[in-house]
Structure 1
Amino acid sequence: MGKDKWLWIAIAAVFLSCLLLTCFGGVAYWGYRRLELARPEEAERPAAPVPTLEPTPTPEVARREAVLNLPGGEPPTLDPALTQDATSAGYIVEIFSGLVTLNPDLEVVPDIAESWEVSEDGTVYTFHLRKDVKFHDGKPVTAHDFKYSIERACDPATGSVVADTYLGDIVGARDKLRGLTDEVSGVRVIDDYTLEITIDAPKAYFLAKLTYPTAFVVDRENVEGPHQPWTDHPNGTGPFKLKEYRLGERIVLERNELYYGEPKPALEEVHFYLAGGSPMIMYENEELDAVPVGLADIERVLDPTNPLNKELTMVVPTLSTFYIGFNVNEPPFDDVKVRQAFNYALDKDKIINVVMKKMWVKAEGILPPGMPGYNPELKGYPYDPEKARQLIAESKYKDVSNFPEIVLSVPGGGGAAARSVTAVVEMYRKNLGVDITIEQMEWATYLDDLKAHRFQMFGITAGWIADYPDPQDFLDILFHCESRDNNTEYCNPEVDKLLEKARVEQDHDKRMEIYRRVEEMILEDAPWVPIGHDAEFWLTKPYVKGMIYPPAIIPKLKYVSISR
């Protein structure tokens, strides 16, 4: 998303396969992705009764043949330069586009750039743009638009908290971000349809970074025009256009008839409902065409005798990790022994199997299964409350009675906290004798406070989802001392040296081995308690064709059609 891309992995990117998966860039909110949209505290409500044929009061649902009806989440932004969460990214990748994109197999493929060359030293990329690409209003897209868009994202006035992360490899980008220059010197327009980008060192993952929304093209006249905020009527280049956005009610996307890519979108419109009751009940009442399955309904949906089972698609797992994060500069988590104790004191098997009903896969480390560099032999902290109490006694605090108040910050709707959150808090109370206060806040506020390092302890229902399939997107972005997405303020100079070595290592196997070593070192320092990797379950009506649920956020609605 930028991702965690922060996924409201408390429950994010509702209509996407992820989410949650963050940020894209990934921050994601898990409960949100599970469709308890307006009230995430209801994510573990009692199982919904089988609905009657009597329609419940819900928003008017579109029923035209080429209209797809989905649940949706309220996006914190529709500005590509400001995207730091999976919910926003899910809409933005449909409305906007960039030089390159990810296909359903998560491979980097041409988008507006039809081809490119890379210099022998791996630092200069020359992109050749398609000449048939137009903004939604019919205006041609040129290399000048990309230079403007990248420089706008790096302009301090824009206020992007993710531009450094995703564009900082470009020569001059950080100088622009710091207000030292008026342009990004590493972005050069050769002619209307040729763009040259120079980066500071050869980096195998650079092209993948350009698939993140921060690098997408925007229309200067739209952004700087008289109709503000411009994101109420964005003039993008993606397969869909924003037709309507009723805050708290619905978002409507309509087909872009000028779309240059393949396949051309078959849907006339996509309606995302932001409110209106339980999405599961709306699905069973034929008001929604696809929904993620939540904790309340997973058991009956998995039952082979239930008719809904035939409409089930399972994604195991997404490229996401849910975790507890600690600010390592805030007592008592400024002591590594305390952080290690909190790892030993959590029974992750119980959380996964009982609380989450096996909808997560247990996390031993930071990288999710399916991510290059994932180490299936890695063994994380075992459940050992006695060892945890021993570590507390060895810490500088000696006893939990010497701890300051501990506050766990999570996204939520203000009602009862999610059962996963209360289960973790109770487990720490039982095993360590620690009382933890739960602080809930709405998603946009959570993201802002996360970036500002205002949290002492955070996460559980919020995690990180991959922006692109490379371990750099987790280990470097989240744990390098100087990364703006290092929300734990963790800093290990030895880890930084290895991360910087991995950035320029051109041998794939050697690079992955460096990342495996880095992951082990970070786990030893324990800025996180990794808990689980999200496994998504979706119900899709039989007449919806081509719906895909990839493990990361990509433009996917153009593949969908309705055949009743």
Structure 2
Amino acid sequence: MTNSSYRKIVLALVPVVAFLAVLFYLHDAGSKTHHTATQYGTVPRGGGTLVFATEREPLCLDPHVYGDMPQVYIAEQYLDRLVSMDEQGMLHPWLATSWEVADGGLTYIFHLRHDVTFTDGTRFDATAVKSNLDHMVDPATQSGTAGGYIRQYTRTDILDPYTAAVHLSSPYSAFLNVLAQGFLGIESPKALSRPRDVNCQSPVGSGPFIITHWDHQSEVVLKKNPAYAWAPPTSRHQGPAWLDGIVWRFVSEPSVRFAMLQAGEVGVIDSVPPESETPAKSNPDVSLLMADRPGNPTNGTLNTLRSPFNDIRVREAFIRSADIDGALGSIFFHHYARAGGPLSPSTPDYSPDFEHTKDYDPKRANELLDEAGWQDRDPEGYRVREGKRLIVHIPISTVLAPADRTLWEQVQATARQTGFDVRMEPLSETANIARSDAWDYDVRIGYWNTNTPDVLRIVFGSAFTNHFQHGIHQNASGYSSPAFDKVVAQALATQDARQRKALYRQAQEIIAKAHLQITTYSQTTRLGVFSNVHDVRIEPSLRVINFHDAWMIP
């Protein structure tokens, strides 16, 4: 197969395929944002090891496996991608110098850099692209995120050492956008050939940092890649990182992380608790750097495949029995804005029309339960039907943040007033995943961060309800609607931005009316930065931290 086989489209004319612009912003919560070199009258300087404290440890350091946010945080530091995204949502070259779209959107031809080497000495080329895409969709990888994004992928043809033709089974207008995410970072094919668990421990990339050691339940240690010379155009400088290394420390308790930051024991922390924002504002040594993430907001998804939520009236009643606005105010001090619809407000093609379709309304919730036949109550006040109590099982992972657990306890309390017996069941993360894979839940707590409204298809599309990749199913509700599937498929196939926006609005309407989730707030990157650390950056595609440009004053 040769290049002449394709109808080529020059890169300059290729549209930004999933959306025209991303609403990217860094809000400072009324405080300071990160320090800059200009502010200190100096220029970036090399050296120093930064200590970063975050709340959650990943299950695997390879972002192709599973696919949770702690993985992509680390992947951002040691992996590069084929394409990059800027703060306006525009796509730019990275490991791919250019690309062409052919065959009605079924083929993407990538022309690759010739000068990139992975840190194990393996060269980056078309074979590496093929190895990585094949790895993501291999069922043995158990890739719930990367593999889920590229289910349309069929194969890669190597046209020459630095030209790869990637074939899809159906048009996928979001393809380039998801390739810009860290979950689809490019790893050394030599490293990928090792057993999955070995690669989880020590994956290899071509990025600005190298993973040297993972001390489980404690820290991951990274050192600078001195040969790095292929940063994306969104970086503030080309060449190696300024830092000598990073100690990526796991500190689960939010108040402990913030105390470490205030004392200067760490340079940066993640997940600054809302109650710490006020003291951060009054501390001259602490700055805040924050950004809301796009995608499907933090939520509890209702399992429609079994009782009681196989009845839409009971689903709506449960959603309307939950006082989310009150919980967000009391727990998060109004620092987290409500995300009421199926898309977070920073998501492309988000419509605000569905923000209030599921507001707290206990009167309506009681009417709906009466209509559904749950008219009686037992001596404890819970609804019963035919002698059976109205029970809702919610597995709660032990890695869930304490504030989020409190939020669901408040849901439990307000739902009890309507007659729901909500049972929160603490589990290890491994046990929680097993329960999820077996559909053994009534509510699954989660979120999905992504830079395209195609998240709707992944989270609610019928194709994602099966036991994809050894039991992993992205559609946690089990919802299946031919009408919805048709709308999101049309959105993926069109290159007309206005038509796509209208289709995604229609998709949001269908989902809102199906009452499939209690949505709470948008996921947010919330960083605290100590005064001697500068130019910490939040990358645009997923709003996660990037340390390539960061530097320190001793």
TM-score scaled by length of structure 2: 0.80
Matched ranges for 1:126-205 at <5 A: 126-162=109-145, 164-170=147-153, 172=154, 184=155, 187-205=156-174
Aligned partner letter, 1:561:
W
d(CA) in 1 for partners of 2:301, 2:492: 25
**2:550 matched residue in structure 1:** 560
Q: How many residues align?
A: 478
Give the deviation of 1:207 after TM superposition.
0.8
1:405 to 391, 415, 423: 391
d(CA) in 2 for partners of 1:83, 1:111: 25
**Bigger shift: 416-425 or 495-504?**
416-425
Give the deviation of 1:369 after TM superposition.
1.2
d(CA) in 2 for partners of 1:372, 1:163: 20
**1:67 matched residue in structure 2:** 49
d(CA) in 1 for partners of 2:518, 2:506: 18
8 Å contact from structure 2 (residues 109, 165) kept in 1? yes
Give the deviation of 1:429 after TM superposition.
0.9
d(CA) in 1 for partners of 2:287, 2:310: 48
**Bigger shift: 475-484 or 316-325?**
316-325
Structure 1 residues 454 and 101, CA gap change in structure 2 (3 angstroms): farther
Any stretches of 5+ residues in structure 2 without a counterpart? 1-45, 232-237, 377-382, 465-472
d(CA) in 2 for partners of 1:216, 1:435: 43
Aligned partner letter, 1:558:
H
**1:527 matched residue in structure 2:** 516
**Bigger shift: 111-120 or 96-105?**
96-105
The 3-state SS of whatever aligns with 2:327 is helix
1:293 to 265, 272, 284: 272
1:491 to 480, 483, 496: 480
d(CA) in 1 for partners of 2:293, 2:152: 30
Structure 1 residues 168 and 141, CA gap change in structure 2 (3 angstroms): same
Any stretches of 5+ residues in structure 1 without a counterpart? 1-63, 173-183
**1:231 matched residue in structure 2:** 200
2:416 to 414, 429, 439: 429
What is the CA deviation profile of residues 60-84 of structure 1, one whole-angstrom value per residue up to 9, with x for unaligned ones? xxxx952111113311112232142
1:350 to 316, 323, 326: 326
The 3-state SS of whatever aligns with 2:228 is coil
8 Å contact from structure 1 (residues 414, 440) kept in 2? no
Give the deviation of 1:320 after TM superposition.
5.5
Structure 1 residues 412 and 247, CA gap change in structure 2 (3 angstroms): same
What is the CA deviation profile of residues 141-183 of structure 1, one whole-angstrom value per residue up to 9, with x for unaligned ones? 111122122223333333333454222122x3xxxxxxxxxxx
**1:270 matched residue in structure 2:** 246
What is the CA deviation profile of residues 9-46 of structure 1, one whole-angstrom value per residue up to 9, with x for unaligned ones? xxxxxxxxxxxxxxxxxxxxxxxxxxxxxxxxxxxxxx
Give the deviation of 1:426 after TM superposition.
0.6
Aligned partner letter, 1:111:
W
Give the deviation of 1:221 after TM superposition.
2.9
Give the deviation of 1:519 after TM superposition.
0.9
Aligned partner letter, 1:301:
A
8 Å contact from structure 1 (residues 128, 195) kept in 2? yes
d(CA) in 2 for partners of 1:406, 1:534: 25
CA RMSD after TM alignment:
2.6
Aligned partner letter, 2:318:
F
d(CA) in 2 for partners of 1:394, 1:227: 51
The 3-state SS of whatever aligns with 2:384 is helix
Give the deviation of 1:521 after TM superposition.
1.2
The 3-state SS of whatever aligns with 2:501 is helix
8 Å contact from structure 1 (residues 341, 391) kept in 2? yes
d(CA) in 2 for partners of 1:284, 1:361: 26
**Bigger shift: 141-150 or 103-112?**
103-112
8 Å contact from structure 1 (residues 138, 258) kept in 2? no
Matched ranges for 1:530-545 at <5 A: 530-545=519-534
Matched ranges for 1:377-396 at <5 A: 377-378=353-354, 379-396=356-373
1:340 to 316, 324, 331: 316
d(CA) in 1 for partners of 2:147, 2:47: 43
**1:443 matched residue in structure 2:** 429
Structure 1 residues 374 and 228, CA gap change in structure 2 (3 angstroms): closer
**1:284 matched residue in structure 2:** 262
The 3-state SS of whatever aligns with 1:266 is coil
Structure 1 residues 554 and 211, CA gap change in structure 2 (3 angstroms): farther
2:176 to 194, 203, 207: 207
Structure 1 residues 452 and 207, CA gap change in structure 2 (3 angstroms): farther
8 Å contact from structure 2 (residues 81, 182) kept in 1? yes
1:87 to 56, 62, 70: 70
**2:215 matched residue in structure 1:** 246
Structure 1 residues 121 and 197, CA gap change in structure 2 (3 angstroms): same
1:418 to 398, 405, 410: 405
The 3-state SS of whatever aligns with 2:522 is strand
8 Å contact from structure 1 (residues 80, 214) kept in 2? yes
**1:480 matched residue in structure 2:** 461
Structure 1 residues 228 and 368, CA gap change in structure 2 (3 angstroms): closer
The 3-state SS of whatever aligns with 2:508 is helix
Give the deviation of 1:319 after TM superposition.
5.1
d(CA) in 2 for partners of 1:448, 1:259: 40
The 3-state SS of whatever aligns with 1:497 is helix
Give the deviation of 1:338 after TM superposition.
0.5
**2:25 matched residue in structure 1:** none
The 3-state SS of whatever aligns with 1:362 is coil
**Bigger shift: 232-241 or 503-512?**
232-241
d(CA) in 2 for partners of 1:319, 1:309: 33
Give the deviation of 1:242 after TM superposition.
0.2
What is the CA deviation profile of residues 222-241 of structure 1, one whole-angstrom value per residue up to 9, with x for unaligned ones? 23359971333322212211
Q: Percent identity?
A: 23
The 3-state SS of whatever aligns with 1:360 is coil
**1:58 matched residue in structure 2:** none
Give the deviation of 1:86 after TM superposition.
0.5
